[in-house]
Amino acid sequence: MEFPAALFPSYFGAGPPREDGGPAPVAGWGEHGQVLEGGPGRCQVQPAFVPRRGATGERWEAADAASVPVLLPSAGCWIPSPAPQDILYRSSLCRKLRAGKSGATLDFARQLGHFFVDHPEDAFGSLGRLLHKNFYLGNAKLKRPARNSTIRMTALVEDIDRLEARRGCPRQHLASRLRWFSHLCRDWLFEVPLGLLADCLHEELTQQWSSLLFDDSLTGGALAWLPPEDGGTPVGCLVHPGGQAMNHLYFQNVVLEELPHARGSPAQFELSGRIRQVAAARVDGQDFVGVRSDYHCGVWRVPGKTGAAPAPLQVIRTDVPASCLTVSPHLPGELSVCTQSGTVYLWSVETGLQQLRHDPQTMFFRDHSPWRWSDFTAHPRVLSCADRTGLQCLDARAPKKCHFDLFKVGEEAGCQQGERVVLPMYLGRAHPSQYLVTTQFSVYVLDERLPLVPVLKWAHMMKAPPLFAHLMPGKPGRTHKLLLGASRTQELLLLQYRDSFWDVSTGGSQSACQLAGTPQKLHNISGCLQHLPTQLPHRHHLLQQRLSAPAAGLAATLQEDGPHKSMLIFQLSEAGDVIIDEEEEEEDMGTPTPLEKAELLQEPCASPQPSPVVPSPAAALRYRRWLRALSRAWREPSRHTWLPSLSQRRLFTRRDLEGPAGPSSLQKQMRQRLRQTMQEGGRIQRWEPLALQPPPLPQTLELAGGPDPLSTRLTAAWAGDWEQWWEERTSFSVAQRQRALRERRRRQKRARGRRSLSASFTSSLTYQSELSELSDVGPSLLSPARPPILSQEGSPPAGSPPVRSPPPSPAPDEALLSSQSLRYRGIPKERRKTLRDYLSVWAEGPPEPPEPLGSQASQLCIPSSQSQLSSASQPRRKRPRMGF
């Protein structure tokens, strides 16, 4: 292709963009930009000029009232991705969204609350089990003795509700009970340390929010159209993702007739990740299809013959999510891959991966986005690589030495401040050396023979940045059509441009690139909602939600049938997680007006034919069919997955609800054993069957395969943050100690619970148990350091000092034999001693698992149950007096 003999005039500056501004709603209208002498030439009487923008183009009209689904929806429901109102703090939602600021207030507290409610096991598992006795959920007032160790949660919940109602009230801090509770529990109640959990949640939230504002993982689009061979049957192949997780790849043959329709069942591949991008290129009559998911990229080959099965060729796995995959239009089986770590690879199916560049920094100025892109250029060994700041071209044979800048966000291209590259694309099918770059404000066409200076620039005025682009090259004399698609807003724009126009003055050589015709808006996916048959309101809502899901891909093809020319545009929606939402749209064209002379501009335009308002019968039929299949798909899953409404009748059989008719087998077994033992006059050493043994203690962090303390310490010292290590270490050991304590108490409690069974058949005995009360503090985890208040309210303390050092944690037997617990069970005072004696004979705790904790832990619990249990077979009369 020849270089234009003269280019449109333009200034050229260097440096950062000077023009500030922002999205301008009408910036693309009413400007010719520049003019160039391109008419009959200077030898003639009158010079003629052509504009850079504003020349006439071809006229395309919609053939139908709206787009029509091509494929039927598949079974399986689609789960909408989070919407802004799910993440944002409610009251500020509208205001912030309208302002378009990313500084929106994320509703962090609500999300954290959701986590606690949805995953209580993960949030409070062990402590919840440990403490559930101390939390009372009923409405009744707590009785005196119970009040000592139990909190009435209902009151707390009421307080929380009140707080919610008083949101914004200046006196809301008066909820002292809540403050007291949270102050008390904040440090230990949570399974995962609260700070860590909050960090993770916050990170996730900001990420969700930023992907809601702009999700660049979809760049390029996940839809490809493999056109039929020239002169062959009009059957092309649509490559699209599907399935609930969008992880199935389909190759669906589509017949291009009046209303294109699917033929046969698709070839289907299940992949191990959500498909983000599908790219295709035709080389030597074969189509190569590249598929990108976050951590895997794969390439398929589709032979040229219609109906030939696609064959997977190769898959690569990346450690960092891949952000780009493009297929070479020059050489079979070559692709380029970029990852978010800033690495660009040339991937050849035959020779494997070749790293061309690795640079986590952006190229021209600092930008935080890890997004990278790469594409091919006119030279098969030269690849472009892009980040948000611009494009560079690298020679794959010497990537370090041979490179040049193709596009820079800066004064060179007349960019605005804050402008960023959104999607670069090689326009090789229209012109071998031209390149498209879209930003959130403008589209640029670049010629790699004249880098940095765009040969065409136009403000596209789209509300969301164009993530998808599709080129339909025009035959000589006709315009090239370029489709731009946005994801979130589903905008779809048709542009036409000429890479050259006939220039007589230079003897018929080529002249510069110009934009032709006006940009045109095409039907989007949500547009077909109004043409679907009327639905019940909730159905309508579901339908609306589904059809307005963000677009996920774009493909198109031109079709020529004699004088009748048409353009078929396929769109894929993200909601169309299920395939159907792939919409097909038929754009019919009026008579194309080939522009040649400027005078044509003056020609009165024919009155624009209003696009039909009612869909054609064929389209209406298609809508009905699609809807029927969709409602079937909606109904189906409800049979399998139950909605939260639970029926008791189905949860429990009648027999379950009737209660146990007789003793269970375990009970039977136990009774038998007991009877036998009593007959023999022996004793039961191990009461419970093996299955009831306590689970082994969770291993400590150090045992869990981490490096030993010395090496972590050395590593930390080497890295220079030894101090922090020490901090962690000390806090860790505190946590460790706490855990040991907790674990011990848990065991004690379990033991008590178990043995309390035996308390029901004890003989009467008296025992002066008052003294033991002091040790029966119970799990005083709420305030371990507090002196036992219980001693003051129980039976007379018998001269014990009112204040003393914290009591040693009670041994299980003590707990069991405490007068309090016995009294609870209604055992008269005089019989308690007998009972104690009896129990102490046989009672022996389950064998303790070996203590994995450090020596500090065992020091902490000096009168450990271990040491006492080892001597449990001896009479233990004296024990309650211990410590006096």
Residues numbered 320 to 349 that lie near another protein (CB under 8 A) are: 329-332
CA of 368: how far to CAs of 117, 384, 420, in Å? 35, 20, 11
CB of 76 to another protein, least distance (A): 36
Angle separating helix axes 108-118 and 120-131, nearest 10 degrees: 60
| Per-residue contact flags (x/-) with another protein for residues 13 to 52, judged by CB under 8 A | xx-----xxx-xxxx-xxxxxxxxx----xx-xxxxxxx-
Out of 402, 606, 618, 719, the only residue in the binding site for another protein (CB under 8 A) is 606
Answer whether 61's CB lies under 8 Å from 588's CB: yes
Answer whether 804's CB lies under 8 Å from 797's CB: no
Out of 100, 193, 264, 285, the only residue in the binding site for another protein (CB under 8 A) is 285
Q: Which is nearer to another protein, 53 or 755 (CB)?
A: 53
Q: Which is nearer to another protein, 11 or 884 (CB)?
A: 11
Q: If binding means CB under 8 A, how many residues of this protein chain bind another protein? A: 77
| Per-residue contact flags (x/-) with another protein for residues 735 to 764, judged by CB under 8 A | ------------------------------
Identity of the residue numbered 748: Q
State in Å, rounded, how far the first CA of the chain is from the last one: 104
CB of 304 to another protein, least distance (A): 9
Residue labelled with tokens 């291993």? 699
Asked whether position 9 contacts another protein by CB under 8 A, the answer is: yes
From the list 10-18, 210-218, 616-624, 755-763, the region that binds another protein by CB under 8 A is 10-18
CB of 300 to another protein, least distance (A): 18
CB of 343 to another protein, least distance (A): 22
Q: Which of 69, 67, 68, 223 is nearest to 554 (CA)?
A: 223
CB of 487 to another protein, least distance (A): 18
Asked whether position 10 contacts another protein by CB under 8 A, the answer is: yes
CA of 635: how far to CAs of 548, 630, 646, 831, 836, in Å? 21, 9, 18, 67, 64
Q: Which is nearer to another protein, 369 or 518 (CB)?
A: 518
| Per-residue contact flags (x/-) with another protein for residues 236 to 275, judged by CB under 8 A | ----------------------------------------
Out of 4, 424, 474, 550, the only residue in the binding site for another protein (CB under 8 A) is 4
From the list 139-147, 186-194, 309-317, 375-383, the region that binds another protein by CB under 8 A is 375-383
Q: Which of 35, 184, 160 is nearest to 786 (CA)?
A: 184
| Per-residue contact flags (x/-) with another protein for residues 583 to 602, judged by CB under 8 A | ---------------xx-xx
DSSP 8-class letter at 211: H
Cα dihedral 347, 351, 353, 357 sign: negative
Q: Which is nearer to another protein, 599 or 656 (CB)?
A: 599
CB of 591 to another protein, least distance (A): 15
What is the torsion angle, in degrees rounded to the nearest 10, for the CA atoms of residue 397, residue 325, residue 349 and residue 429?
A: -80
Out of 378, 464, 543, 569, the only residue in the binding site for another protein (CB under 8 A) is 378
Asked whether position 230 contacts another protein by CB under 8 A, the answer is: no
Whole-number Å distance between alpha carbons of 126 and 114: 19
Q: Which residues from 396-415 bind another protein, rule CB under 8 A?
A: 397, 412
Q: Which is nearer to another protein, 163 or 308 (CB)?
A: 308
Q: Which is nearer to another protein, 13 or 663 (CB)?
A: 13
Asked whether position 284 contacts another protein by CB under 8 A, the answer is: yes
Count the residues in the chain: 884
Q: Which is nearer to another protein, 334 or 844 (CB)?
A: 334
Q: Which residues from 479-538 bind another protein, rule CB under 8 A?
A: 493, 518-521
Out of 17, 54, 243, 390, the only residue in the binding site for another protein (CB under 8 A) is 54
Helices of type H across 503-616: 537-547
Per DSSP (E only), the strands in 388-545 are: 390-395, 403-408, 421-426, 434-439, 442-447, 456-459, 466-472, 480-486, 492-498, 502-503, 509-510, 514-521
The DSSP H or E segment spanning 686 is none
From the list 176-184, 446-454, 570-578, 767-775, the region that binds another protein by CB under 8 A is 446-454
Strands 235-242 and 564-573: unpaired
Asked whether position 99 contacts another protein by CB under 8 A, the answer is: no
Q: Which residues from 447-466 bind another protein, rule CB under 8 A?
A: 449-453, 461
CB of 568 to another protein, least distance (A): 19
Answer whether 814's CB lies under 8 Å from 820's CB: no
Identity of the residue numbered 689: P
| Per-residue contact flags (x/-) with another protein for residues 380 to 399, judged by CB under 8 A | xx---------------x--
Q: Which residues of 194-225 are buried (b: 16+ CB within 10 A; e: fewer)?
A: beebbeebeeebeebbeebebbbbbbbbbbbb
Whole-number Å distance between alpha carbons of 33 and 54: 9
Q: Which is nearer to another protein, 128 or 432 (CB)?
A: 432
Asked whether position 296 contacts another protein by CB under 8 A, the answer is: no
Out of 145, 312, 418, 432, the only residue in the binding site for another protein (CB under 8 A) is 432
Answer whether 535's CB lies under 8 Å from 27's CB: no
CB of 12 to another protein, least distance (A): 5
CA of 695: how far to CAs of 226, 619, 747, in Å? 59, 65, 10
Q: Which is nearer to another protein, 227 or 329 (CB)?
A: 329
